[in-house]
Structure 1
Protein backbone atom coordinates (compact mmCIF):
# COMPACT_ATOMS: atom_id res chain seq x y z
CA UNK A 1 0.00 0.00 0.00
CA UNK A 2 1.21 3.50 -0.87
CA UNK A 3 0.26 6.51 1.20
CA UNK A 4 -1.57 9.49 -0.29
CA UNK A 5 1.46 11.79 -0.41
CA UNK A 6 3.46 9.20 -2.30
CA UNK A 7 0.64 8.87 -4.84
CA UNK A 8 0.10 12.62 -5.19
CA UNK A 9 3.64 14.02 -5.16
CA UNK A 10 5.19 12.76 -8.38
CA UNK A 11 7.83 14.29 -10.65
CA UNK A 12 5.83 14.01 -13.85
CA UNK A 13 2.10 14.52 -13.12
CA UNK A 14 -0.39 14.09 -15.95
CA UNK A 15 -2.44 17.17 -15.08
CA UNK A 16 -0.40 19.90 -16.90
CA UNK A 17 -0.54 18.04 -20.21
CA UNK A 18 -4.22 17.33 -19.70
CA UNK A 19 -4.85 21.02 -19.08
CA UNK A 20 -3.12 21.87 -22.36
CA UNK A 21 -5.40 19.51 -24.26
CA UNK A 22 -8.48 20.98 -22.57
CA UNK A 23 -7.35 24.50 -23.41
CA UNK A 24 -6.76 23.55 -27.05
CA UNK A 25 -10.54 23.53 -27.40
CA UNK A 26 -11.27 20.59 -29.73
CA UNK A 27 -14.49 20.11 -27.73
CA UNK A 28 -16.19 22.45 -25.21
CA UNK A 29 -15.05 21.45 -21.71
CA UNK A 30 -15.93 22.80 -18.29
CA UNK A 31 -13.47 21.90 -15.53
CA UNK A 32 -15.24 21.69 -12.17
CA UNK A 33 -13.50 22.92 -9.02
CA UNK A 34 -11.91 20.21 -6.92
CA UNK A 35 -12.75 18.99 -3.46
CA UNK A 36 -9.15 18.36 -2.28
CA UNK A 37 -10.01 16.12 0.66
CA UNK A 38 -12.34 13.91 -1.37
CA UNK A 39 -9.86 13.80 -4.25
CA UNK A 40 -7.11 12.52 -1.98
CA UNK A 41 -9.49 9.93 -0.53
CA UNK A 42 -10.22 8.65 -4.04
CA UNK A 43 -6.52 8.57 -4.93
CA UNK A 44 -5.72 6.51 -1.84
CA UNK A 45 -8.48 3.95 -2.39
CA UNK A 46 -7.65 3.52 -6.10
CA UNK A 47 -3.91 3.32 -5.36
CA UNK A 48 -3.03 5.16 -8.57
CA UNK A 49 -0.56 8.02 -8.84
CA UNK A 50 -0.98 11.51 -10.24
CA UNK A 51 1.12 10.36 -13.21
CA UNK A 52 -1.99 8.63 -14.51
CA UNK A 53 -4.92 10.47 -16.05
CA UNK A 54 -7.24 8.75 -13.58
CA UNK A 55 -5.18 9.96 -10.65
CA UNK A 56 -4.75 13.45 -12.12
CA UNK A 57 -8.50 13.89 -12.51
CA UNK A 58 -9.18 12.67 -8.98
CA UNK A 59 -6.59 14.97 -7.45
CA UNK A 60 -6.95 18.14 -9.50
CA UNK A 61 -10.57 18.63 -10.51
CA UNK A 62 -14.13 17.91 -9.54
CA UNK A 63 -14.77 16.36 -12.95
CA UNK A 64 -15.09 17.39 -16.59
CA UNK A 65 -18.30 18.39 -18.37
CA UNK A 66 -17.99 18.00 -22.15
CA UNK A 67 -20.14 19.16 -25.05
CA UNK A 68 -22.38 21.39 -22.89
CA UNK A 69 -23.26 18.59 -20.50
CA UNK A 70 -23.56 15.68 -22.93
CA UNK A 71 -20.68 13.75 -21.29
CA UNK A 72 -19.63 13.92 -17.62
CA UNK A 73 -16.21 12.55 -16.62
CA UNK A 74 -15.71 11.89 -12.91
CA UNK A 75 -12.79 13.16 -10.88
CA UNK A 76 -12.42 14.05 -7.23
CA UNK A 77 -15.91 15.49 -6.95
CA UNK A 78 -16.97 19.10 -6.68
CA UNK A 79 -18.05 20.55 -3.36
CA UNK A 80 -19.79 23.43 -5.17
CA UNK A 81 -23.56 23.26 -5.60
CA UNK A 82 -24.55 21.64 -8.87
CA UNK A 83 -21.25 19.80 -9.25
CA UNK A 84 -20.50 16.16 -9.93
CA UNK A 85 -20.07 13.40 -7.36
CA UNK A 86 -16.58 11.96 -6.99
CA UNK A 87 -15.29 8.69 -8.37
CA UNK A 88 -15.55 7.46 -4.79
CA UNK A 89 -19.23 8.37 -4.43
CA UNK A 90 -20.21 7.05 -7.86
CA UNK A 91 -18.46 3.73 -7.17
CA UNK A 92 -19.36 3.42 -3.47
CA UNK A 93 -15.82 3.50 -2.13
CA UNK A 94 -15.62 2.69 1.58
CA UNK A 95 -15.54 5.81 3.74
CA UNK A 96 -12.22 4.72 5.23
CA UNK A 97 -9.42 3.23 3.16
CA UNK A 98 -9.79 -0.54 2.79
CA UNK A 99 -6.93 -2.31 0.96
CA UNK A 100 -9.13 -5.39 0.47
CA UNK A 101 -11.91 -3.47 -1.30
CA UNK A 102 -12.17 -3.39 -5.08
CA UNK A 103 -15.09 -2.45 -7.38
CA UNK A 104 -16.98 -5.67 -8.00
CA UNK A 105 -17.37 -5.27 -11.75
CA UNK A 106 -15.06 -2.39 -12.59
CA UNK A 107 -14.87 1.37 -12.13
CA UNK A 108 -17.56 3.71 -13.49
CA UNK A 109 -15.68 6.77 -14.76
CA UNK A 110 -18.30 8.68 -16.77
CA UNK A 111 -21.91 9.00 -17.88
CA UNK A 112 -23.55 10.69 -20.80
CA UNK A 113 -26.80 12.59 -20.67
CA UNK A 114 -28.76 9.70 -22.21
CA UNK A 115 -27.70 7.22 -19.54
CA UNK A 116 -24.72 5.76 -21.38
CA UNK A 117 -22.12 4.49 -18.92
CA UNK A 118 -18.35 4.51 -19.37
CA UNK A 119 -16.58 1.99 -17.14
CA UNK A 120 -13.07 0.64 -16.69
CA UNK A 121 -13.08 -3.14 -16.61
CA UNK A 122 -12.04 -4.88 -13.42
CA UNK A 123 -9.95 -8.04 -13.11
CA UNK A 124 -12.75 -10.32 -14.37
CA UNK A 125 -14.89 -8.50 -16.97
CA UNK A 126 -16.41 -11.75 -18.24
CA UNK A 127 -17.66 -12.50 -14.74
CA UNK A 128 -19.41 -9.14 -14.73
CA UNK A 129 -20.93 -9.77 -18.16
CA UNK A 130 -18.74 -7.20 -19.87
CA UNK A 131 -16.69 -7.53 -23.04
CA UNK A 132 -13.06 -6.50 -23.40
CA UNK A 133 -9.92 -7.08 -21.36
CA UNK A 134 -9.13 -6.10 -17.78
CA UNK A 135 -8.11 -2.44 -17.59
CA UNK A 136 -9.91 -1.58 -20.82
CA UNK A 137 -12.83 0.80 -21.25
CA UNK A 138 -16.38 -0.37 -21.95
CA UNK A 139 -19.58 1.51 -22.74
CA UNK A 140 -23.14 0.63 -21.77
CA UNK A 141 -25.10 1.86 -24.79
CA UNK A 142 -28.56 3.25 -23.97
CA UNK A 143 -29.89 2.43 -27.45
CA UNK A 144 -28.99 -1.30 -27.33
CA UNK A 145 -28.88 -1.95 -23.55
CA UNK A 146 -25.58 -3.79 -24.06
CA UNK A 147 -21.98 -3.24 -23.01
CA UNK A 148 -19.53 -2.54 -25.84
CA UNK A 149 -15.74 -2.86 -25.69
CA UNK A 150 -13.96 0.39 -26.55
CA UNK A 151 -10.51 -1.21 -26.96
CA UNK A 152 -8.65 1.53 -25.09
CA UNK A 153 -7.47 2.28 -21.58
CA UNK A 154 -8.69 5.13 -19.40
CA UNK A 155 -5.99 7.63 -20.38
CA UNK A 156 -6.51 7.04 -24.09
CA UNK A 157 -10.27 7.33 -23.56
CA UNK A 158 -9.97 10.77 -21.94
CA UNK A 159 -7.67 11.99 -24.71
CA UNK A 160 -10.10 10.56 -27.26
CA UNK A 161 -13.02 12.41 -25.66
CA UNK A 162 -11.10 15.69 -25.74
CA UNK A 163 -10.00 15.21 -29.35
CA UNK A 164 -13.46 16.10 -30.69
CA UNK A 165 -14.58 12.67 -31.90
CA UNK A 166 -17.83 12.55 -29.96
CA UNK A 167 -19.87 13.57 -33.00
CA UNK A 168 -18.91 10.34 -34.76
CA UNK A 169 -19.35 8.17 -31.66
CA UNK A 170 -22.86 9.52 -31.06
CA UNK A 171 -23.96 9.35 -34.69
CA UNK A 172 -27.64 8.35 -34.60
CA UNK A 173 -28.11 9.43 -30.97
CA UNK A 174 -28.17 13.19 -31.49
CA UNK A 175 -31.14 15.09 -32.84
CA UNK A 176 -31.49 18.67 -34.13
CA UNK A 177 -31.11 20.96 -31.11
CA UNK A 178 -29.40 18.32 -28.97
CA UNK A 179 -26.79 20.74 -27.63
CA UNK A 180 -29.38 23.12 -26.16
CA UNK A 181 -31.29 20.22 -24.60
CA UNK A 182 -28.11 18.68 -23.15
CA UNK A 183 -27.30 21.98 -21.44
CA UNK A 184 -30.74 22.19 -19.79
CA UNK A 185 -30.51 19.47 -17.09
CA UNK A 186 -28.35 19.98 -14.03
CA UNK A 187 -25.52 17.50 -13.48
CA UNK A 188 -27.66 15.23 -11.31
CA UNK A 189 -30.03 14.74 -14.24
CA UNK A 190 -30.08 13.09 -17.62
CA UNK A 191 -32.54 13.13 -20.50
CA UNK A 192 -35.26 10.52 -20.76
CA UNK A 193 -36.45 9.72 -24.29
CA UNK A 194 -39.86 8.31 -25.22
CA UNK A 195 -40.39 6.08 -27.09
CA UNK A 196 -37.30 4.64 -25.43
CA UNK A 197 -33.98 4.80 -27.24
CA UNK A 198 -33.91 1.03 -27.75
CA UNK A 199 -37.34 1.03 -29.44
CA UNK A 200 -37.90 0.77 -33.19
CA UNK A 201 -39.70 4.12 -33.15
CA UNK A 202 -36.67 5.92 -31.70
CA UNK A 203 -34.30 4.16 -34.09
CA UNK A 204 -36.49 5.17 -37.04
CA UNK A 205 -37.00 8.83 -36.08
CA UNK A 206 -35.13 10.08 -33.03
CA UNK A 207 -36.11 13.69 -33.69
CA UNK A 208 -39.81 12.79 -33.29
CA UNK A 209 -39.35 11.42 -29.77
CA UNK A 210 -40.41 13.22 -26.61
CA UNK A 211 -37.54 14.20 -24.30
CA UNK A 212 -37.30 15.74 -20.84
CA UNK A 213 -34.81 16.07 -17.98
CA UNK A 214 -35.18 13.63 -15.07
CA UNK A 215 -32.89 12.36 -12.32
CA UNK A 216 -29.97 10.42 -13.79
CA UNK A 217 -30.67 7.63 -11.32
CA UNK A 218 -34.09 7.24 -12.98
CA UNK A 219 -32.59 7.15 -16.49
CA UNK A 220 -30.13 4.43 -15.43
CA UNK A 221 -32.72 2.51 -13.44
CA UNK A 222 -35.19 2.28 -16.33
CA UNK A 223 -32.48 1.09 -18.72
CA UNK A 224 -31.25 -1.52 -16.27
CA UNK A 225 -34.79 -2.80 -15.61
CA UNK A 226 -35.52 -3.19 -19.32
CA UNK A 227 -32.17 -4.90 -19.92
CA UNK A 228 -33.01 -7.45 -17.23
CA UNK A 229 -36.60 -8.00 -18.35
CA UNK A 230 -36.20 -7.95 -22.12
CA UNK A 231 -32.59 -8.94 -22.52
CA UNK A 232 -29.89 -9.10 -23.46
CA UNK A 233 -28.69 -9.40 -19.83
CA UNK A 234 -28.45 -7.78 -16.44
CA UNK A 235 -25.99 -4.90 -17.02
CA UNK A 236 -24.83 -4.92 -13.43
CA UNK A 237 -23.68 -1.84 -11.55
CA UNK A 238 -24.11 1.37 -13.55
CA UNK A 239 -22.89 3.83 -10.95
CA UNK A 240 -24.56 5.65 -8.06
CA UNK A 241 -25.64 9.16 -9.01
Structure 2
Protein backbone atom coordinates (compact mmCIF):
# COMPACT_ATOMS: atom_id res chain seq x y z
CA UNK A 1 0.00 0.00 0.00
CA UNK A 2 1.49 3.30 -1.10
CA UNK A 3 1.09 6.23 1.29
CA UNK A 4 -0.92 9.33 0.43
CA UNK A 5 2.26 11.32 -0.09
CA UNK A 6 3.48 8.75 -2.58
CA UNK A 7 0.21 9.04 -4.51
CA UNK A 8 0.20 12.86 -4.67
CA UNK A 9 2.12 13.80 -7.82
CA UNK A 10 3.35 17.38 -7.54
CA UNK A 11 5.47 17.34 -10.69
CA UNK A 12 2.90 16.41 -13.35
CA UNK A 13 -0.60 16.21 -11.86
CA UNK A 14 -3.53 15.58 -14.21
CA UNK A 15 -5.87 18.07 -12.53
CA UNK A 16 -4.84 21.08 -14.70
CA UNK A 17 -5.76 19.05 -17.80
CA UNK A 18 -9.12 18.14 -16.28
CA UNK A 19 -9.68 21.81 -15.46
CA UNK A 20 -9.10 22.67 -19.13
CA UNK A 21 -11.73 20.13 -20.14
CA UNK A 22 -14.11 21.56 -17.55
CA UNK A 23 -13.59 25.10 -18.83
CA UNK A 24 -14.51 24.08 -22.38
CA UNK A 25 -17.22 21.55 -21.51
CA UNK A 26 -20.04 21.20 -24.03
CA UNK A 27 -22.66 20.75 -21.27
CA UNK A 28 -23.07 22.38 -17.84
CA UNK A 29 -20.83 20.73 -15.24
CA UNK A 30 -20.94 21.19 -11.47
CA UNK A 31 -17.76 20.29 -9.62
CA UNK A 32 -18.82 19.06 -6.21
CA UNK A 33 -16.64 20.24 -3.31
CA UNK A 34 -14.34 17.74 -1.66
CA UNK A 35 -13.41 17.01 1.90
CA UNK A 36 -9.60 16.89 1.89
CA UNK A 37 -9.37 14.11 4.47
CA UNK A 38 -11.99 11.98 2.73
CA UNK A 39 -10.36 12.63 -0.65
CA UNK A 40 -7.04 11.41 0.68
CA UNK A 41 -8.66 8.26 2.05
CA UNK A 42 -10.35 7.50 -1.27
CA UNK A 43 -7.09 8.00 -3.16
CA UNK A 44 -5.33 5.59 -0.82
CA UNK A 45 -8.09 3.01 -1.21
CA UNK A 46 -7.84 3.26 -4.99
CA UNK A 47 -4.03 3.23 -4.97
CA UNK A 48 -3.79 5.47 -8.04
CA UNK A 49 -1.72 8.64 -8.28
CA UNK A 50 -2.92 12.15 -9.09
CA UNK A 51 -0.83 11.95 -12.25
CA UNK A 52 -3.76 9.99 -13.68
CA UNK A 53 -7.07 11.63 -14.54
CA UNK A 54 -8.85 9.06 -12.36
CA UNK A 55 -6.67 10.00 -9.39
CA UNK A 56 -7.16 13.70 -10.10
CA UNK A 57 -10.96 13.42 -10.10
CA UNK A 58 -10.85 11.22 -6.99
CA UNK A 59 -8.65 13.63 -5.03
CA UNK A 60 -9.75 17.05 -6.30
CA UNK A 61 -13.53 16.62 -6.45
CA UNK A 62 -16.45 15.21 -4.55
CA UNK A 63 -17.71 14.20 -7.99
CA UNK A 64 -18.94 15.86 -11.17
CA UNK A 65 -22.57 16.48 -12.13
CA UNK A 66 -22.69 16.70 -15.92
CA UNK A 67 -25.51 18.04 -18.09
CA UNK A 68 -27.71 19.25 -15.22
CA UNK A 69 -27.06 16.09 -13.22
CA UNK A 70 -28.08 13.58 -15.88
CA UNK A 71 -24.61 12.03 -15.65
CA UNK A 72 -22.67 11.67 -12.37
CA UNK A 73 -18.91 11.12 -12.42
CA UNK A 74 -17.74 9.60 -9.14
CA UNK A 75 -15.09 11.37 -7.05
CA UNK A 76 -14.43 11.26 -3.31
CA UNK A 77 -18.07 11.87 -2.34
CA UNK A 78 -19.50 14.45 0.03
CA UNK A 79 -22.71 16.00 1.30
CA UNK A 80 -24.34 16.44 -2.14
CA UNK A 81 -23.36 13.04 -3.51
CA UNK A 82 -22.45 10.45 -0.90
CA UNK A 83 -21.50 7.80 -3.44
CA UNK A 84 -17.77 7.80 -4.11
CA UNK A 85 -15.22 5.82 -6.08
CA UNK A 86 -14.49 3.98 -2.83
CA UNK A 87 -17.92 3.03 -1.54
CA UNK A 88 -19.29 2.26 -4.99
CA UNK A 89 -16.49 -0.26 -5.38
CA UNK A 90 -16.65 -1.93 -1.97
CA UNK A 91 -13.49 -0.28 -0.68
CA UNK A 92 -13.60 0.45 3.05
CA UNK A 93 -17.08 1.17 4.43
CA UNK A 94 -19.27 0.65 1.37
CA UNK A 95 -22.77 0.48 -0.03
CA UNK A 96 -24.51 -2.69 -1.24
CA UNK A 97 -22.54 -3.05 -4.45
CA UNK A 98 -21.25 -6.61 -4.36
CA UNK A 99 -21.56 -7.07 -8.16
CA UNK A 100 -18.56 -4.77 -8.80
CA UNK A 101 -15.87 -7.43 -8.32
CA UNK A 102 -13.52 -7.41 -11.31
CA UNK A 103 -14.43 -3.89 -12.40
CA UNK A 104 -14.25 -0.30 -11.15
CA UNK A 105 -17.48 1.69 -11.36
CA UNK A 106 -16.67 5.30 -12.26
CA UNK A 107 -19.96 6.99 -13.26
CA UNK A 108 -23.72 6.50 -13.57
CA UNK A 109 -26.68 8.21 -15.17
CA UNK A 110 -30.29 8.81 -14.18
CA UNK A 111 -31.55 5.91 -16.31
CA UNK A 112 -29.53 3.41 -14.32
CA UNK A 113 -26.72 3.17 -16.85
CA UNK A 114 -23.31 2.56 -15.27
CA UNK A 115 -19.80 3.13 -16.58
CA UNK A 116 -17.03 0.86 -15.36
CA UNK A 117 -13.37 0.09 -16.05
CA UNK A 118 -12.65 -3.54 -16.78
CA UNK A 119 -10.62 -5.40 -14.22
CA UNK A 120 -11.24 -8.82 -15.73
CA UNK A 121 -15.00 -9.22 -15.24
CA UNK A 122 -15.94 -7.54 -18.52
CA UNK A 123 -13.08 -8.29 -20.89
CA UNK A 124 -9.33 -8.73 -20.89
CA UNK A 125 -8.80 -6.78 -17.68
CA UNK A 126 -6.86 -3.91 -19.26
CA UNK A 127 -8.93 -1.07 -17.79
CA UNK A 128 -11.08 -0.38 -20.82
CA UNK A 129 -14.35 1.48 -20.28
CA UNK A 130 -17.68 -0.36 -20.53
CA UNK A 131 -21.27 0.87 -20.26
CA UNK A 132 -24.04 -1.16 -18.66
CA UNK A 133 -26.90 -0.12 -20.93
CA UNK A 134 -30.36 -0.12 -19.30
CA UNK A 135 -32.03 -0.67 -22.68
CA UNK A 136 -30.20 -3.96 -23.29
CA UNK A 137 -28.99 -5.01 -19.81
CA UNK A 138 -25.58 -5.73 -21.34
CA UNK A 139 -22.09 -4.35 -20.78
CA UNK A 140 -21.02 -2.56 -23.97
CA UNK A 141 -17.34 -1.99 -24.79
CA UNK A 142 -16.82 1.75 -25.40
CA UNK A 143 -13.37 1.26 -26.91
CA UNK A 144 -11.66 3.85 -24.70
CA UNK A 145 -9.93 4.24 -21.36
CA UNK A 146 -10.84 6.45 -18.42
CA UNK A 147 -9.18 9.63 -19.73
CA UNK A 148 -10.93 9.37 -23.09
CA UNK A 149 -14.18 8.55 -21.32
CA UNK A 150 -13.92 11.63 -19.10
CA UNK A 151 -13.03 13.79 -22.10
CA UNK A 152 -16.17 12.51 -23.83
CA UNK A 153 -18.33 13.19 -20.77
CA UNK A 154 -17.13 16.79 -20.71
CA UNK A 155 -16.76 17.55 -24.41
CA UNK A 156 -18.91 15.04 -26.26
CA UNK A 157 -22.51 15.08 -27.41
CA UNK A 158 -24.47 13.44 -24.59
CA UNK A 159 -27.77 14.18 -26.33
CA UNK A 160 -26.69 11.99 -29.22
CA UNK A 161 -25.39 9.27 -26.89
CA UNK A 162 -28.70 9.01 -25.04
CA UNK A 163 -30.74 9.55 -28.19
CA UNK A 164 -34.46 9.01 -27.89
CA UNK A 165 -34.37 8.12 -24.19
CA UNK A 166 -34.70 11.72 -23.08
CA UNK A 167 -38.19 13.08 -22.70
CA UNK A 168 -39.78 16.50 -22.71
CA UNK A 169 -39.10 18.13 -19.33
CA UNK A 170 -36.30 15.72 -18.37
CA UNK A 171 -34.10 18.46 -16.92
CA UNK A 172 -36.82 19.52 -14.45
CA UNK A 173 -37.37 15.92 -13.40
CA UNK A 174 -33.63 15.34 -12.94
CA UNK A 175 -33.30 18.51 -10.85
CA UNK A 176 -35.57 16.93 -8.23
CA UNK A 177 -33.31 13.90 -7.85
CA UNK A 178 -30.44 13.48 -5.44
CA UNK A 179 -27.23 12.60 -7.33
CA UNK A 180 -27.43 9.28 -5.46
CA UNK A 181 -30.81 8.50 -7.06
CA UNK A 182 -32.00 7.40 -10.47
CA UNK A 183 -35.28 6.65 -12.19
CA UNK A 184 -36.88 3.24 -11.99
CA UNK A 185 -38.92 3.06 -15.20
CA UNK A 186 -42.09 1.09 -15.80
CA UNK A 187 -42.13 -0.52 -18.27
CA UNK A 188 -38.30 -0.73 -18.15
CA UNK A 189 -36.15 0.38 -21.08
CA UNK A 190 -35.12 -3.15 -21.95
CA UNK A 191 -38.69 -4.11 -22.85
CA UNK A 192 -40.39 -3.33 -26.17
CA UNK A 193 -43.05 -1.34 -24.29
CA UNK A 194 -40.44 0.77 -22.52
CA UNK A 195 -38.63 2.21 -25.55
CA UNK A 196 -40.77 5.36 -25.70
CA UNK A 197 -39.95 7.63 -22.72
CA UNK A 198 -43.26 9.42 -23.13
CA UNK A 199 -45.14 6.22 -22.27
CA UNK A 200 -43.28 5.13 -19.12
CA UNK A 201 -43.70 6.06 -15.48
CA UNK A 202 -40.67 7.18 -13.47
CA UNK A 203 -40.00 6.64 -9.78
CA UNK A 204 -36.95 7.91 -7.88
CA UNK A 205 -34.95 5.11 -6.21
CA UNK A 206 -31.39 4.81 -4.80
CA UNK A 207 -28.81 4.18 -7.52
CA UNK A 208 -27.49 1.11 -5.71
CA UNK A 209 -30.97 -0.42 -5.76
CA UNK A 210 -31.35 0.39 -9.44
CA UNK A 211 -28.04 -1.26 -10.37
CA UNK A 212 -28.67 -4.37 -8.31
CA UNK A 213 -32.17 -4.85 -9.72
CA UNK A 214 -30.96 -4.44 -13.30
CA UNK A 215 -28.04 -6.82 -12.81
CA UNK A 216 -30.41 -9.39 -11.35
CA UNK A 217 -32.74 -9.04 -14.35
CA UNK A 218 -29.73 -9.45 -16.65
CA UNK A 219 -28.68 -12.60 -14.80
CA UNK A 220 -32.15 -14.08 -15.04
CA UNK A 221 -32.43 -13.31 -18.76
CA UNK A 222 -29.14 -14.68 -20.02
CA UNK A 223 -26.85 -15.50 -17.11
CA UNK A 224 -23.95 -13.52 -18.55
CA UNK A 225 -23.86 -10.52 -16.22
CA UNK A 226 -20.92 -10.51 -13.75
TM-score normalised according to structure 2 size = 0.90
After the TM superposition, which residues 1-241 of structure 1 pair with which residues of structure 2 at under 5 Å, given as runs? 1-78=1-78, 80=79, 82-94=80-92, 104-122=101-119, 124=120, 128=121, 130-131=122-123, 134-203=126-195, 205-231=196-222, 233-236=223-226
Tell me the alpha carbon deviations over residues 146-165 of structure 1, each in whole angstroms, 9 at most, x when there is no partner. Answer: 00001101011001110032
The alignment's C-alpha RMSD in Å is 1.7
8 A Cα contact 2:9 2:51, kept in partner: no
Contact 2:24–2:155 (8 Å) recurs in 1: no
Shift of 1:234: 4.7
Shift of 1:131: 4.0
- Cα 1:16/1:212, change in 2 over 3 Å: same
Q: Distance in 1 between matches of 2:206 and 2:167?
A: 21
* Structure 2: gaps (5+ residues): 94-99
CA distance in 2, matches of 1:215, 1:77: 15
- Aligned CA distance change for structure 1 residues 178 and 131 (closer, same or farther; 3 Å): farther
C-alpha displacement at 1:175, in angstroms?
1.7
Cα offset, 1:201, TM superposition: 0.9
Give the match's secondary structure for 1:87: coil
Decide which moves more: 189-198 or 165-174.
Answer: 165-174
Secondary structure at the counterpart of residue 65 of structure 2: strand
The count of corresponding residues between Structure 1 and Structure 2 is 220
Deviation by residue 1:114-155 (Cα, 9 ceiling, x = unmatched): 111100111x2xxx2x24652100010011000000110101
Q: Distance in 2 between matches of 1:11 and 1:84?
A: 30
Q: Which 4+ runs in 1 deviate beyond 3 A? A: none
Q: Give CA deviations for 1:176-216 in whole Å, capped at 9, x if unaligned.
A: 2222222221122101111111110122x221111121222
Structure 1: any 5+ residue segments left out of the alignment? 96-102, 237-241
Name the CA distance, whole Å, in 2 between partners of 1:164 and 1:154: 14
